[in-house]
């Protein structure tokens, strides 16, 4: 009896990488809802340049997995029209650094169709983009500009950091009534595997996840930086007896203020880790929110451990640009030692 | 000015429908077509063009192998397309400006970029983007089609400043013709009648997208018609034809006759033999047999045959060129591998004057390097 239960539990999950989690999220939702379609550059026959859409073209056909002409504004703009028509488009920007031609469509239209039409028209669609550095990619392939989208009211911005969340958050994004920018940290696309629920699996948007509980300092992060933050937390516990709480923010907009503030009220100290440039990054929003909501709990300045206020360097120097575990660790110690 | 009727007007803008059949000088085997006139090039010029194509092919093979060995990062191969790149380069005068894409290594080299610098950039050092003084060349463009309006603006600036002897050549791919910037740049070029030549290197594939899925137009050259400029379709694997067409377009850009407009869109019809980049696997999306027909029209083979038949090239000269090419590429690899960089480079040249805040960020990094050593930063993330 017990072994039958174990087998059942085993078959309820499969061990996937993050990019496979994305693919599974797309697959499950496409199988469940005929209106869900995928469109973008090289997403069909080629299965996506990172293989995020592998096999979908063969299974769902060229009308639902569409190789478009090379035109980001066209992809997002036509997705808005598709959404208006009742379809549920999931558009892929091949790299975040190439999404800018679509920026006008996203901020002037997708983000505000609902408010402009006083709720008469809505824009339920997802724009996926691999983002972030660390894979030795050519110039313009390593940007981390989530703040552009977080700044735009009407858009939701989501960044998974685990394979299960990649599937679950993408599922929720596809089902969401509003446009969602879904940023996939390509550094950890294939970095590790974990058990991911089979079948329908939704993780609600707007809820941060506490990845490690701790009492001395709160570390707020997301995406690819979650792992260096957790490694730093482990090292600090072992070497310095510092007990870090690591919070994976995972929905950057709307921000889960409740979880962020509750963690800070417990520890009284915080560091924010992101690979985007420091100035006007999402770290600034988190730090200010904490000051507004929990000033009386604050015991030290909030430390931002971030990318430089400079373009991402070519790959030879990107390890200096990105917050490595060593930088994260040192920054946390500074906060704790204040 | 007299009033033109419709027919005259079409003629006056040069915006007639281009022939679907590409212009050729050489046949598939490298024999001069009876209908064609070879371009007026001296023996030395012909040999120079041949040597550059030979070098480009060798460079491409070496770069792919360096990438496989982890000595450079992602590389965009150009084999099959180097004949067109080199020929357009030879059609330029030194003062002309070149706007290249990430695949136009040979075009950059011909216009004055150093081979070692090309490889330095591929090692991940931004220093490689600096070209020798006086070389009118922009760093390669990676976001698709974004260079088209820039090239238009550069050409416009020449016009506004009375630089009648300077034209601009802008490379782009077939995929680029779908982007908004392509339309906006060409429209501006037509409206402001600037001395610019746009070369669309139609290599049939935008990563996995075949040309016929990129646009429903029969040709790319015909898109010029809508902008009121001339469109020309040329066999991009016939270096002599590409040279002739590009040279004519550059001359017209600088000194149009009364009824000509300056800009031209050249569709250079060619084929990407290899992968989009070393990160791509074309066997997933295309039948490799397709490339065989194109390889039969190889630009290097055709020019080689032509030069042998016209006694410009013999076996001895060919061997000498081959040895020179190998030495030059080997020296470039050595230069690139000797190049050094430093984390300080991250903050340099972001602004003319580095803001204090950015300088402090570098200080913070340097303090950490001091404290933990550079090895701590070399650890694989996550």
pLDDT tens, residue by residue, B152-163: 999 999 999 999
Percent of chain B with pLDDT over 90: 89
Residue A2 has pLDDT above 90, yes or no: no
DSSP letter assigned to residue A274: E
The CA distance from A209 to the nearest CA of chain B, in Å, is 18
Residue A108: pLDDT band with limits 50, 70, 90: very high
Asked about B31 being catalytic, the answer comes back as no
A251 φ/ψ angles, rounded to the nearest 5 degrees = -110, 115
CB of B225 within 8 A of CB of B187? no
- CB contact under 8 Å between A228 and B381, yes or no, is yes
Please, where are the H alpha helices in B14-69? 43-68
- Among B100, B341, B357, B381, the strongest candidate for a mutation testing the A interface, having the largest count of A CBs within 10 A, is B381
Choice between A24 and B9, residue whose per-residue pLDDT is larger:
A24
Could you give the 3-state DSSP secondary structure of residue A207? coil
Q: Is the ipTM reported for this complex over the cut 0.90? A: yes
Position of tokens 């539990």?
Answer: A9
Tokens of residue B96, six digits: 């002309």
pLDDT at B6: 38
Give the DSSP H or E segment for A185: strand A180-185
Q: Which CATH number fits domain B8-338: 3.20.20.70, 3.40.50.970, 3.40.50.150, 3.40.50.2030?
A: 3.40.50.970
Could you tell me whether strands A13-16 and B209-210 are parallel, antiparallel, or unpaired per DSSP bridges? unpaired
The pLDDT of A76-84, averaged and rounded, is 98
Residue B16 has pLDDT above 60, yes or no: no
CB of A93 within 8 A of CB of A53? no
The pLDDT of A104-118, averaged and rounded, is 98
The pLDDT of B87-99, averaged and rounded, is 98
Give the DSSP H or E segment for A127: strand A126-131
CB of A181 within 8 A of CB of A38? no
Task: Extract the runs of DSSP E, i.e. beta strands, from chain B.
Answer: 97-99, 168-173, 196-202, 205-206, 209-210, 230-235, 264-269
- CB contact under 8 Å between B284 and A278, yes or no, is no
Note whether B215 contacts A: Cβ–Cβ < 8 A.
Answer: yes
pLDDT at B3: 38
The pLDDT of A208-218, averaged and rounded, is 98
Dist CA B172 CA B174 (whole Å): 7
A35 φ/ψ angles, rounded to the nearest 5 degrees = -80, -15
- CB contact under 8 Å between B207 and A49, yes or no, is yes
* Strands ordered across the beta sheet of A217-221: A209-212, A244-248, A217-221, A270-277, A303-307
Please give the interface size between A and B, counted as residue pairs whose CB atoms are below 8 Å apart.
Answer: 141
The pLDDT of A6-28, averaged and rounded, is 87
Domain spans of chain A, in order of start: 2-197, 209-336
Average pLDDT of chain B is: 93
Residue B108: pLDDT band with limits 50, 70, 90: very high
**B328: buried, middle or exposed (CB in 10 Å: 19+, 13-18, 0-12)?**
middle
Provide the phi-psi class of A42: left if phi over 0, else alpha when psi is between -120 and 50, else beta.
left
Average pLDDT of chain A is: 96
Could you tell me whether strands A270-277 and A244-248 are parallel, antiparallel, or unpaired per DSSP bridges? unpaired
pTM value > 0.90: yes
CB of A215 within 8 A of CB of A263? no
B125, B371, B379 member nearest A325 (Cβ): B379
The CA distance from A186 to the nearest CA of chain B, in Å, is 12
The pLDDT of A257-281, averaged and rounded, is 98
pLDDT at B4: 38
Residue B80 has pLDDT above 60, yes or no: yes
The pLDDT tens digits of the residues spanning B293-321 come to 999 999 999 999 999 999 999 999 999 99
Residue B52 has pLDDT above 50, yes or no: yes
Residue A13 CB neighbours (<10 A): 15
CB of B201 within 8 A of CB of B174? yes
CB of A70 within 8 A of CB of B235? no
Tokens of residue A264, six digits: 């800070």
Tokens of residue B125, six digits: 């050092």
Which fold would CATH assign to domain A209-336?
Rossmann fold (3.40.50)
CB of A65 within 8 A of CB of A38? yes
Question: Hey, do A2-197 and A209-336 end up sharing a CATH topology, with the first three levels equal?
Answer: yes
From residue A178, alpha-carbon distances to A205, A209, B277 in Å are 11, 22, 36
The pLDDT of A264-288, averaged and rounded, is 98
Residue B8: pLDDT band with limits 50, 70, 90: very low
The pLDDT of B194-209, averaged and rounded, is 97
Nearest to B110 by CA among B126, B127, B130, B94: B94
The pLDDT of A81-105, averaged and rounded, is 97
The pLDDT of A143-150, averaged and rounded, is 97
Please name the residues in contact with B237: beta carbons below 8 A apart, sequence gap of 6 or more.
B80, B83, B84, B269, B270, B271, B294, B297, B298, B299, B302
Please name the residues in contact with B130: beta carbons below 8 A apart, sequence gap of 6 or more.
B117
Residue A1 has pLDDT above 70, yes or no: no
Asked, as a colleague might, if the bond just before B257 is cis with ω within 30 of 0, I would say no
Residue A136 has pLDDT above 60, yes or no: yes
Rg (CA), chain B: 22
Total residue count of chain A as it appears in this document: 338
pLDDT at A7: 55
pLDDT at A60: 98
pLDDT at B106: 98
The pLDDT of A43-53, averaged and rounded, is 97
Dist CA A144 CA A278 (whole Å): 11
Tokens of residue B204, six digits: 């049939």
DSSP letter assigned to residue A96: G
The pLDDT of B343-349, averaged and rounded, is 94
Dist CA B136 CA B158 (whole Å): 13
**B372: buried, middle or exposed (CB in 10 Å: 19+, 13-18, 0-12)?**
middle
User: CATH for A2-197?
Assistant: 3.40.50.970
The pLDDT of A40-51, averaged and rounded, is 97
The pLDDT of A197-223, averaged and rounded, is 98
Residue B291 CB neighbours (<10 A): 18
The pLDDT tens digits of the residues spanning A309-336 come to 999 999 999 999 999 889 999 999 999 9
The CA distance from A136 to the nearest CA of chain B, in Å, is 7
Please name the residues in contact with A110: beta carbons below 8 A apart, sequence gap of 6 or more.
A76, A79, A80, A123, A125, A127, A154, A155, A179
Residue B380: pLDDT band with limits 50, 70, 90: low
- Among A140, A320, A333, the strongest candidate for a mutation testing the B interface, having the largest count of B CBs within 10 A, is A320
The pLDDT of B169-192, averaged and rounded, is 98
pLDDT at B379: 65
Could you tell me whether strands A244-248 and A217-221 are parallel, antiparallel, or unpaired per DSSP bridges? parallel
Residue A122 has pLDDT above 90, yes or no: yes
Please name the residues in contact with B380: beta carbons below 8 A apart, sequence gap of 6 or more.
none
Note whether B135 contacts A: Cβ–Cβ < 8 A.
Answer: no
């Amino acid at each position: 009896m017990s072994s039958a239960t174990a087998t059942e539990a085993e078959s309820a999950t499969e061990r996937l990488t993050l990019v496979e989690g994305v693919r599974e999220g797309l697959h499950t939702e496409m199988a469940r809802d005929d209106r869900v379609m995928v469109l973008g550059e090289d997403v069909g026959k080629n299965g996506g340049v990172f293989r995020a859409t592998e096999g979908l073209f063969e299974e769902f056909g060229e009308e639902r997995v569409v190789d478009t002409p090379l035109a980001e504004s066209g992809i997002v703009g036509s997705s808005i029209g598709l959404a208006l028509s009742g379809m549920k488009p999931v558009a892929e920007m091949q790299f975040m650094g190439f999404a800018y031609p679509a920026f006008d469509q996203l901020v002037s239209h997708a983000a505000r169709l609902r408010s402009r039409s006083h709720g008469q028209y809505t824009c339920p669609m997802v724009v996926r983009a691999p983002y972030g550095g660390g894979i030795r990619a050519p110039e313009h392939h390593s940007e981390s500009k989530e703040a552009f989208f977080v700044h735009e009211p009407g858009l939701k911005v989501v960044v998974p950091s685990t394979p299960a969340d990649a599937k679950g958050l993408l599922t929720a994004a596809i089902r969401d009534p509003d446009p969602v920018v879904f940023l996939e940290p390509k550094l950890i696309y294939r970095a590790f595997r974990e058990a991911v629920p089979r079948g329908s699996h939704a993780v609600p948007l707007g809820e941060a996840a506490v990845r490690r509980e701790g009492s001395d300092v709160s570390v707020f992060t997301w995406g690819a930086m979650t792992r260096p933050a957790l490694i730093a937390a482990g090292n600090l516990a072992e070497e310095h007896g510092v007990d870090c709480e690591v919070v994976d923010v995972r929905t950057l907009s709307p921000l889960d203020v409740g979880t962020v503030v509750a963690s800070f009220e417990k520890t009284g100290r915080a560091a924010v880790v992101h690979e985007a440039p420091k100035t006007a990054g999402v770290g600034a929003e988190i730090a200010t929110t904490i000051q507004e909501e929990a000033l009386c709990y604050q015991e030290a300045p909030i430390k931002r451990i971030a990318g430089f206020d400079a373009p991402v360097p070519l790959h030879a120097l990107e390890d200096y640009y990105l917050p490595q575990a060593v930088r994260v660790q040192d920054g946390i110690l500074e906060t704790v030692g204040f | 000015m007299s009033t033109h009727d419709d027919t005259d007007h079409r003629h006056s803008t040069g915006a007639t429908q281009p022939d679907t059949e590409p212009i050729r000088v050489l046949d598939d085997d490298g024999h001069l077509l009876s209908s064609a006139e070879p371009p007026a090039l001296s023996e030395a010029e012909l040999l120079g063009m041949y040597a550059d194509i030979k070098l480009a092919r060798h460079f491409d093979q070496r770069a792919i192998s360096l990438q496989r060995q982890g000595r450079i990062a992602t590389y965009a191969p150009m084999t099959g397309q180097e004949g067109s790149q080199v020929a357009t380069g030879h059609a330029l005068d030194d003062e002309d400006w070149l706007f290249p894409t990430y695949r136009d290594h040979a075009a950059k080299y011909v216009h004055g970029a150093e081979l070692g610098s090309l490889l330095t950039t591929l090692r991940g050092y931004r220093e490689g983007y600096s070209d020798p003084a006086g070389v009118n060349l922009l760093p390669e463009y990676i976001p698709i089609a974004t260079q088209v309006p820039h090239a238009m603006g550069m050409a416009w600036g020449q016009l506004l400043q009375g630089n009648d002897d300077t034209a601009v050549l802008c490379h782009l791919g077939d995929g680029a013709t779908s982007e908004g910037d392509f339309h906006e740049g060409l429209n501006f070029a037509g409206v402001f009648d600037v001395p610019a030549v746009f070369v669309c290197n139609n290599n049939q594939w935008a990563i996995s997208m075949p040309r016929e899925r990129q646009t429903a137009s029969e040709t790319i050259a015909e898109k010029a018609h809508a902008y009121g400029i001339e469109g020309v379709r040329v066999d991009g694997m016939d270096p002599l034809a590409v040279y002739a067409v590009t040279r004519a377009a550059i001359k017209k850009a600088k000194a149009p006759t009364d009824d000509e407009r300056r800009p031209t869109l050249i569709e250079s019809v060619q084929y990407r033999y290899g992968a989009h980049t070393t990160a791509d696997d074309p066997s997933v999306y295309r039948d490799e047999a397709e490339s065989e027909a194109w390889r039969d029209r190889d630009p290097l083979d055709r020019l080689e045959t032509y030069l042998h038949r016209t006694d410009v090239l013999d076996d001895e000269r060919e061997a000498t060129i081959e040895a020179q090419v190998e030495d030059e590429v080997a020296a470039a690899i050595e230069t690139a591998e000797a190049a050094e960089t430093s984390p300080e480079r991250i903050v340099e040249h972001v602004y003319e004057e580095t803001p204090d805040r950015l300088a402090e960020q570098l200080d913070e990094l340097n303090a950490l390097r001091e404290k933990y050593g550079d090895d701590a930063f070399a650890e694989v993330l996550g």
